[in-house]
Structure 1
Amino acid sequence: MVYFPKKITDIDQKVIILGESAQYDLCGACANQIERKRNPQGGWIYPTVTPDGERVNLLKILLSNDCIHNCYYCGNREGRKGDRVRFSPEELVRIFLNMKDRGLVKGLFLSSAVDRNPFQTMDDMIKVTELLRWKYHFRGYIHLKIFPESTDDYIETAIRLATRVSINIEAPGSDYLKSIAPQKNFNRIWNRFLYLKKLSQKGIRPRAGFTTQLVIGGGEEKDLDIMRTVSTLYHDFSMTRAYYSAFHPIIETPLAEKQPESTWREHRLYQADYLFRKYHFSLDELIFNQNGNLPLEIDPKTLWALNHPEVFPLEINTASYQELLRIPGIGPISAKRIIQFRQKAPFRDLSSLQNLGIRAQATAPYILLSGKQFRIPQQLSLFSEYIAG
């Protein structure tokens, strides 16, 4: 029997359904599902940080959940049972402005399933943004998803209107993508990144950059393949952020019986990604196991340190900023605090580090304090198989 989904016309029901449907498209702090909260009309409000450092709440919602694609992992895939819902651009604008005027949100993350055809849907998403910018003079944060099928003029218009844009790559290569989304074309997606780069070279770029997202564990992709692809996007295309979404099965999809992916794997990928963006690590400095994945038992920065005993211990009172970043337990903020503090007085014991908010137990095996090393018993036996030599 062919299933004909019910068409929803009630606005409040639309908000609830399309807000729920948007939860798997990640953006900024939206990757932290714990922080999201329901708004009084239903759907979800997510916190994020603007390019100016302001923490704001976003209305995160789809324009439509009625998709023409058959992605095996997706709850909005064509033919799956469920209520098919879409907003008109005018409806969505009214909903957002109402929530903004009530102080519930300050920005918008707008995505969509590919409804009817990608050009019509992209046109409607652009229209939402045009109405907000031009008719209602909204100057706040807008994150706009771009479909890979979008033409050059749609992409350029989206960049000029939105604060940030995203093009989701979903998988790190053509074969991997075909195994989870057979109707999507990896080369077409990559060509859209190339066009973003071309526009950027002409000075046409979104103020807060562009992002992408990968589904983790839906196929047989390796972490090495993921990090190689992401590293290229960072270094050759000046991408702003990558987001990683651990696969979880959804009923009435081809992958409904597949085991969910470990959220620890997602966490390790975010840690490795952070090493690229904030610690200036290169791809060849990441250490993968024999299966091409990041070990789950230990974070990638500590694993690198254990495999480079020739670098440590480092003297806290003289190490450069870049050297401090290589020490487990020390990040960009704490490294700056260390440099500021030692200008007044040298570090002599672990308590002075702890007073700066630094995890002394993680840091102690890798540092000297005024020439002295402090040893804290640690359970390193779990990691011995990963130590070189």
Structure 2
Amino acid sequence: MNLQSKLAILADAAKYDASCASSGAAPRDSVGGRGMGSTEGMGICHSYAPDGRCISLLKVLLTNYCQYDCLYCVNRVSSNVRRARFAVEEVVRLTLDFYRRNCIEGLFLSSGIIQSPDYTMEQVVEVARVLREEHDFRGYIHLKTIPDAAPELLERAGRYADRLSINIELPTQAGLAALAPEKDGVAIKRSMARIAIHIADARQARREQERAPAAVSLGGANARRSTRRAAAPAFAPGGQSTQMIVGADATDDRTILATSAGLYGVHRLRRVYYSAFSPIPDAARALPLAAPPLLREHRLYQADWLMRFYGFDHGEIVPPTQSGMLALDMDPKLAWALAHRERFPVNVNAAPRELLLRVPGLGVASVDRLLAARRVRRLRHADLVRLRVPMKKVLHFVETLDHRPGRALDAADLATRLAPPPVQGRLFA
């Protein structure tokens, strides 16, 4: 099989991994020789560097052969798909060629499990090593690690990669036992813990190095201060991430968010990605026949954002009194506000930052601008207009010098009036 055929198979097989984020660009298609720069299909994806830059990555599998039989995976051993495998040198050559053509700025590399977890991990790490050490490649590298691999292989991976990820796949051990019996949830979290320790140790070493005074060396009759020091070794400076499949089993949103909160709190993950289950060819009977609404995936991302940046606890986003599922007809922040009307209206001239962040329609940047503005004057309705916040939503939950929502906040039909119109098409497919 030639290199182009392998690339077509292994780039397509990698598209199911969502833990390398898309930039969200509008779909454009350059198929047919007209134009350049398709943002659809497979092969090149968009992600974010640790400093916030959006970058393009070559996204491929080393191989889609796999000895595991995870029922939700199109590349499982019992799946009837075309198989291919790259040699280490081929992935290196593709990465460098695409980089020299200015098509990519880095590599996202994952793999099916062949021969053994250690053997597979050795191959993945070797790609990164050759790029870094033999070709002095300075681009971004994201490696998908294998939890059953030896700890020393995970440690080596972190020396070369900007980010590491281990997919937890399903939020519960029961789900893994039913759909991916070869995978061990305990082993996955143990590997996450090892990576978290290495990341923390590397950051601590850099902090100590920055605090340490420069060494003084004497040369001849003149004393000179040496400012050159050996840099503390880096380890996955972009942190680690993971992916959970949504809708492949009966796990509810409350459980999914609880699992994510634990991963953020215990293992200090940078991101948890949610991927709506997509029916695959020759699917097992244990899997659902239809995909869950993509809007459910979207609501989970919104809830995840509330936990990470808005100070929400996972338990209050989906309280025990509910069915365990996020509402699809409105975003989780608005749903929380409507369920806790006694907390509103919020006085924008006096409320603390953590309470302003709970106002529907106010984002982190908007709240910071409000706090800066109220240091110099008392805020009025016109100030909110100038800040370009979504007035239709915000005004029901705040008060200013010249505005109070009054009985509008208690109106029985407020949820209906604030909920967005029904979305047709793929979000509900």
Q: What is the TM-score normalised by the length of structure 1? A: 0.89
Deviation string for 1:93-143 (max 9, x for gaps)?
A: 111111111111101111111123222111111011001111111122111
Which ranges in structure 1 are unaligned for 5 or more consecutive residues?
Answer: 1-8, 385-389
Deviation at 1:354, TM superposition (A): 3.8
Identity percentage of aligned residues: 35
1:347 aligns with 2:379: yes
1:336 aligns with 2:328: no
Equivalent position to 1:231, from 238, 261, 271: 261
Deviation at 1:194, TM superposition (A): 2.4
Aligned-partner SS, 1:188:
helix
1:144 aligns with 2:143: yes
Deviation at 1:172, TM superposition (A): 1.4
1:309 aligns with 2:347: no
Deviation string for 1:312-361 (max 9, x for gaps)?
A: 11122333322221111111111122223334544322x54243231111
Distance, in Å, in 2 between the alignment partners of 1:250 and 1:107 is 29
Q: CA RMSD in A?
A: 2.5
**Map of 2:18 onto structure 1:** 26
**Map of 1:361 onto structure 2:** 392
Deviation at 1:32, TM superposition (A): 4.6
**Map of 1:380 onto structure 2:** 414
Deviates most, 371-380 or 191-200: 371-380
Whether contact under 8 Å (1:165, 1:209) holds in the other structure is yes
Distance, in Å, in 2 between the alignment partners of 1:383 and 1:186 is 44
**Map of 1:172 onto structure 2:** 171
**Map of 2:270 onto structure 1:** 240
Matched to 1:212, the amino acid is T
Q: What is the TM-score normalised by the length of structure 2? A: 0.81
Number of aligned residue pairs: give it.
374
1:70-219 equivalence runs, <5 A: 70-203=69-202, 205-219=235-249
Distance, in Å, in 2 between the alignment partners of 1:229 and 1:51 is 24
Distance, in Å, in 1 between the alignment partners of 2:318 and 2:72 is 29
Whether contact under 8 Å (1:209, 1:239) holds in the other structure is yes
Matched to 1:305, the amino acid is A
Deviates most, 24-33 or 294-303: 24-33
Aligned-partner SS, 2:344:
coil
Distance, in Å, in 1 between the alignment partners of 2:395 and 2:82 is 56
Aligned-partner SS, 1:242:
strand
Matched to 2:238, the amino acid is A
Matched to 1:299, the amino acid is D
**Map of 2:2 onto structure 1:** 10
Deviation string for 1:186-228 (max 9, x for gaps)?
A: 1211221222233345337420110010010101111111111
Whether contact under 8 Å (2:258, 2:315) holds in the other structure is no
Which ranges in structure 2 are unaligned for 5 or more consecutive residues?
Answer: 31-36, 204-234, 419-429
Deviation string for 1:248-286 (max 9, x for gaps)?
A: 111112157621111111111111110111112112222
Relative distance call for 1:333 and 1:28 in structure 2 (3 A) is: farther
Whether contact under 8 Å (1:297, 1:383) holds in the other structure is no
Task: Say which one has the larger Rg.
Answer: 2
Matched to 1:362, the amino acid is K
Deviation at 1:28, TM superposition (A): 4.6
Distance, in Å, in 2 between the alignment partners of 1:13 and 1:33 is 27
Deviation at 1:382, TM superposition (A): 4.9
Matched to 2:187, the amino acid is R
Equivalent position to 1:279, from 310, 313, 338: 310
Deviation at 1:72, TM superposition (A): 0.8
**Map of 2:216 onto structure 1:** none
1:55-70 equivalence runs, <5 A: 55-70=54-69
Whether contact under 8 Å (2:11, 2:60) holds in the other structure is yes
**Map of 1:298 onto structure 2:** 330
**Map of 2:401 onto structure 1:** 370
Relative distance call for 1:142 and 1:343 in structure 2 (3 A) is: same
Distance, in Å, in 1 between the alignment partners of 2:339 and 2:81 is 51
Distance, in Å, in 1 between the alignment partners of 2:3 and 2:178 is 36
Distance, in Å, in 2 between the alignment partners of 1:102 and 1:96 is 10
Matched to 2:316, the amino acid is E
Distance, in Å, in 2 between the alignment partners of 1:339 and 1:277 is 20
Deviates most, 175-184 or 334-343: 334-343
Aligned-partner SS, 2:243:
strand
Q: Which runs of 4+ in 1 moved over 4 A?
A: 31-40, 374-379, 381-384
1:250 aligns with 2:284: no
Whether contact under 8 Å (2:110, 2:143) holds in the other structure is yes
Distance, in Å, in 1 between the alignment partners of 2:76 and 2:21 is 26
**Map of 1:3 onto structure 2:** none
Deviation at 1:380, TM superposition (A): 3.0
Whether contact under 8 Å (2:353, 2:367) holds in the other structure is yes
Deviation at 1:236, TM superposition (A): 1.6
**Map of 2:224 onto structure 1:** none
Aligned-partner SS, 1:203:
helix
Distance, in Å, in 1 between the alignment partners of 2:69 and 2:103 is 35
Whether contact under 8 Å (1:272, 1:286) holds in the other structure is yes
